[in-house]
Amino acid sequence: MTETSASLAATETHSFDTLSLSPGLRAALEQLEYRTMTPIQAASLPISLGGHDLIAQAKTGSGKTAAFAITLLTNLNPRRFAVQAMVLCPTRELAEQVTQEIRRLACFEDNIKVLSLCGGTPIGPQRGSLEHGAHIVVGTPGRLMDHLERGSLRLDALNTLVLDEADRMLDMGFFDDIVYVAEHCPPKRQTLLFSATYPEGIERLAKQFLRHPQEVKLLEQH
């Protein structure tokens, strides 16, 4: 195959147009200049938008954030002012990045509120923000657990749970906190697990919290 025909084929098969996305998401993708899906997005979005639980493994920098952000925004009802999606991240820095990416993808929707809830900052103002309401929360497992214990975070309306960088969360000793948080989510929900590697602990997490997950592993991706 010549280089030209290879890139044309990739453009055809990986166009966001093959997905059924809201006009707001389409406009945001255009603004972000995301013209074609990355390989992990192309492989995982048809599964996650179909409502299935997902285990997705692909290296860092492959576009996993948008893969789950597009899914959770598609599952979201902006008129229902309650936490409908939660993303667990290993560090505050990553949680902030994920929060920004979700906000960018949600910027053409009406007033979708995304809150970042991480340790290392006072909990009081976060409780105040939660009282004002949020559609999506992104945070580190310890701080999310803290809010659940205090009753400041309620998850009865949650429909999408994302475990981002699950391998790093396990490396950092968050297994028990993840279990606590996941056990406070409604059983009827979609769970998406993203990881750069697939150590044994991920299998345990997946068995415990995902229902009939479909797996996408892109090992040789460049």
Q: Can you give the binding site for Mg ion, defined by CB under 5 A?
A: 64
Closest CA to 113 of 91, 143, 127, 134: 134
Contact 49, 192 (CB under 8 A): no
Query: What, of Mg ion, ligand ADP, none, does residue 140 touch, CB below 5 to 8 Å by kind?
Result: none
Residue with smaller CB distance to ligand ADP, 65 or 126: 65
Smallest gap from Cβ 73 to ligand ADP, in A, equals 14
Cβ-based burial of 29 (10 A; exposed 0-12, middle 13-18, buried ≥19): buried
Smallest gap from Cβ 15 to Mg ion, in A, equals 23
Cβ-based burial of 92 (10 A; exposed 0-12, middle 13-18, buried ≥19): middle
Q: Does 61 bind ligand ADP (CB under 6 A)?
A: yes
Residue with smaller CB distance to ligand ADP, 62 or 191: 62
Q: Which stretch binds ligand ADP (CB under 6 A): 31-39, 121-129, 137-145, 201-209?
A: 31-39
Pull the structure tokens for residue 137.
């929360």
Place of tokens 């991920």: 202
Q: What x-and-dash track marks residues 66-85 binding ligand ADP by CB under 6 A?
A: x-------------------
